[in-house]
Chains A and B, each alone.
Chain A
Amino acid sequence: MINLVVHIAQKEFTEALRDSRFRLISGFLVGLLLFSMLVSWNYYQKTAEEFKTAQGTARQQWENQPMKNPHSAAHFGTFAFKPVPTLALIDNGLDKYLGISVFLEAHRQNTAQYKQIADQNDLARFAELTPAFVFTYLFPLLIILLAFQAFTIEKERDTLRLLLSQGIPIQTLAWGKVLGLVGLLALILLPVWSLGLIFLLFSDCQTDDILRYVLLCGLLAVYYAVFVQVSMTVSAWAKNGNVALLTLLGFWVISTFLVPKLLANVSKNLYPTPSAIAYQTQIKEALEKGIDGHNPFSERSKIFEDSVLKANKVDSIHKLPFNYSGLIMQTGEEHETVVYAKAMKKLNDIYMDQLNAYSASAFFSPTILVKMLSMQLSKTDLLSHYDFAQQAENYRIALVRNLNYDLKDHAKYGDWEYKPADKDFFKKTVDFSYQPISLATTLEKAWLSIGFLLVWWGLSVVGLIVISKNYITG
């Protein structure tokens, strides 16, 4: 039985290899893929270099600033730049649509600025030729073209009856054809994937990246299996090749273009984002409810002052054992931090809710699952961006605290001309080092999509078994 399956697979495999159409289309696809890999590689090398230089320069600029009051330095601020993850080579995901640098300053959390898409030609909005685009959008098309005739041609040529009369079970025939096609795909994909791995090994990647890459290839394999089985099922069901082809192409258009775009709009309507104006007003109102370090005369500041005096058992801020200005700055800062964190979280939660609602499109489209997964695994999705933004914010909090506490501990009250005595003061302030998001964190979010993809795979297997039993009667 297994023997027979392999036999049929071999026959299909050889037949397709001899078909010039197969050679033409797959050659074209592989060419496109290699081309996109080279371009991504070139782009990646350039941007990774720029990022490294910039992050170094930013630190130098910070360290070499003229000696000044530490709180003034906190206003002068510094930058955190978002690194380009190595796997952006495969899928640059949302990178073009997200800001690349965050300005870190006292009193406020800024969002990442400078979206690449605003500085670019607008053709990028049609589609981008990345390896991920070829893998997720074009390869399924190749599968459809290779598979739509699998059964219909036997029906049209009346060879199906012959085959069945020789006692070949229908299931054996179906799985033989599936195996043959899988073999063909492996012939194209394995070298390409190995080449990708080599590219990856030659860039500065971590073990984590390799794992992610292998996982991504594995998921793509499942995704292709879904398309192979769905195409075979349709071919078994359809009366002729024409119907099979049109049905499958319809499925492709719906699952790659229509449903994703449509559901993006629907999920935006389900979870509307606030307007930027409303958002800023809300932050402003919340800020006014706390202490402003720069306004020691407000009612709240006075209450705070009294409590500090009481706690230290003195009657005037001049008699405090530390500089009161530094303390009130830091106290104000802590309130501001909470306000911004809350506002930011609220907004991010809306985006995440939209994405979750969006996952519902998985019911109509395996493509969208793979698109989301490949971004997540390439660290170019929204979650990775938040992870970066959060680390930048944590760094900002630490840096500003560092500066305010120096003011509190070393300056005399009222002396705004104070400068730290240590010439290397700014060199000794905390530095920013970004820890890329871990695979475990990514998987925590991704497992549901992976599960959905496996469900698609299971359903396509069942579909092929049921349909081939009921529709192929010769």
Chain B
Amino acid sequence: MLISFELKMLFRNPFAWVLTGLLFIFLLFGTYYGTQRVEKQKTTIAEVQTKAEKFYQEKKLLLDSIEKGWREPEKSWYKDPANPLPMGTFRGAGWYVVLQPAPLAVVSTGQSDIFPFYSKVAVGNTNAGSDNDHFENPFSTAIGQFDLAFVLTFIFPLLIIAFTYNLLSAEREQGILRLLLSMPLSVRTWLFQKLTFRYVFLLLLSIILLAMSLGIFGVSITNFSFLQLSAALGFYALFWFLVAFSVNLLEKSSAVNAMILLGVWLFFTLLVPSVASMLSSTLYPVPSRVGFVTAQRDAESEAEKKHEEIINNFYAKNPQFLKPANEKEQTWRTRWLERFAEKEYSEKIVGKIRIDFEEKAQAQRHFADNFQWFSPAIFFQNTLSRLAKTDTETYLDFQVRTAEFEKKWTTFFKGKFLKDEKLKTADYDNLPKWEYVQN
């Protein structure tokens, strides 16, 4: 009885129609731009994968013809498909590691406009191509994207507020409250029922509209992630309805209610995050990258100055590489042996600086994470980014896995180089493989 009455009221309220229409339009916009971003990611991934595959396919065919005697062996060492050093290290060599988008990646841009989702790994290098920049206008990165996460975290609560701010006050201002009070019904129960109805109605409506806009753009919603997303939305909406309930009970005028609710919205969506971010970076400062750069350079200079010492040490430890005394001339092989030795030395120092830097950055992130308990908006936004797999954690994990892959790759090629082995066509089928299953 009450429900059908409430429904009738909502359907006849033009304001409700306008708000619902706006929500749908925003959801469509958000999904559209999200889909575009994910499509771009997929195309780029396909592009870089074929690039690497083509490179090694060509080299393999070349080697095959040489092995079969159809072709002269390659004279320049740096072009030789049987030489593991160039084939794993430079001149287009290297394998692209990629991060595939998650099923619900469209939902949240998260950190995807900052961290790379692919990288070219070569011997001793995790970004050999320097070709994984995001060509994204810094201004729009700073402004933030109009994605579904934005619509749901920021706009959705405003709609809830618009639907609820004057439930009680309007009745009083129109003089209906007195009538109501004369009934055998407490105001609280009445307000509670009314809000519960609106909560269920608005939540179902939003989930349906969200599912529709995702469906229109071909995003699959028959997965567990979408269920999680709906549940998260349910909790988030519940929070805002509870706030609205409490504010309504204060029995202020409609205008004051609106002001208070907007204040609460500002507090949770803007003030808490900005103060929290500032506190985190003040209490857990990350040393500047400027210092990092100069420290790195110091390590390189150090390695350069100690060149003789490092090389002598290297040969003392690895006498098998020592040239016979009559062979004074440097070959490409000795040059690279020494280069690797020097690099290993400076990498030891730089590695320490890097780890120290990353630990501090991580400490700041951990501290900042605590603040999600102070703001449902932060919590909800984080949840969406986790579901979309565009959160910082995912990208940092990708970086770790990239470094691991680089080790594998280096061991394979540098190992053969050190042992002075040639690559065979069979080796081309057994190159280290990039496999990344998200946990």
Contacts and interface: CB of A to CB of B under 8 A. Distances in A.
B44 A277 contact: yes
Contacts, number: 207
Interface centre among A96, A276, A347 (most CB of B within 10 A): A276
Nearest to A97: B138
Interface stretch (B180-188, B213-221, B270-278): B270-278
Contact of B365 (A114, A122, A148): A122
Interface string A349-391: 0010011001000000000000000000000011001000000
Given A54-B290, A101-B293, A242-B255, A347 B139 contact: no
B135 A249 contact: no
Q: Is the interface of A mostly helix, strand, loop or mixed?
A: helix
B289 A100 contact: yes
Contacts of A93: 142
B379 to A, nearest CB: 12
A277 B48 contact: yes
A258 B146 CA distance: 8
A178 interface: no
Contact of B281 (A113, A120, A261, A351): A120
B131 A276 contact: yes
A265 B137 contact: no
A324 interface: no
Contacts of B51: 277
B360 to A, nearest CB: 9
A245 B365 contact: no
Contacts of A76: 304
Contacts of A114: 289, 292-293
Interface in B115-155: 115, 129-146, 150, 154-155
Interface centre among B114, B141, B290 (most CB of A within 10 A): B290
A354 B270 contact: no
Interface string B336-374: 000000000000000000000100010011011101000
Contacts of A125: 111, 144
Interface in B296-310: 297-298, 301, 304-305
A261 B144 contact: yes
A265 B145 contact: yes
Interface string A100-129: 110000000001011111111111111111
Contacts of B282: 39, 42-43
A61 B303 CA distance: 13
B205 interface: no
Interface string A251-264: 00100011011101
B259 interface: yes
A273 interface: yes
Given A39-B278, A129-B274, A280 B139 contact: no
Contacts of B274: 123, 126-129, 133
B132 A276 contact: yes
A241 B361 CA distance: 48
Contacts of A354: 137, 139-140
Contact of A242 (B258, B292, B391): B258
B136 A264 contact: no
A58 interface: yes
Interface centre among A57, A58, A269 (most CB of B within 10 A): A57
Contacts of A129: 271, 274-275, 277-278
B44 A264 contact: no
A123 B277 contact: yes
A315 interface: no
A261 B129 CA distance: 32
A122 B111 contact: yes
B114 A118 contact: yes
Contacts of A39: 278, 282
Given A65-B301, A117-B114, A245-B255, A264 B290 contact: no
B259 A145 contact: yes
Interface centre among B40, B275, B297 (most CB of A within 10 A): B297
Nearest to B360: A119
A273 B37 CA distance: 12
Nearest to A122: B392
Contacts of B285: 46
Contacts of A355: 137, 139
Interface centre among A93, A268, A385 (most CB of B within 10 A): A268
Nearest to A352: B137
B291 A50 contact: yes
Given A126-B277, A351-B137, A277 B131 contact: yes
Contacts of A128: 274, 277-278
Interface string A71-85: 000001001010000
Contact of A267 (B140, B281, B294): B140
B91 to A, nearest CB: 11
Contact of A94 (B114, B138, B145): B138
Given A117-B114, A122-B111, A123-B378, A262 B290 contact: no
B393 to A, nearest CB: 10
A323 to B, nearest CB: 22
B128 to A, nearest CB: 12
A58 B295 CA distance: 10
20 contacts: A39-B278, A58-B297, A61-B297, A114-B289, A119-B357, A120-B286, A120-B361, A123-B274, A123-B371, A126-B277, A126-B377, A246-B162, A249-B262, A258-B146, A264-B140, A264-B146, A276-B132, A351-B137, A354-B137, A381-B139
Given A123-B371, A261-B143, A261-B146, 13 more contacts: A42-B282, A79-B297, A97-B138, A121-B280, A122-B111, A123-B273, A127-B273, A128-B274, A148-B255, A242-B253, A264-B140, A279-B131, A354-B137
**A-B pairs, 8 with minimum CB distance:** A121-B368, A126-B273, A123-B277, A264-B140, A114-B289, A273-B135, A129-B274, A261-B146
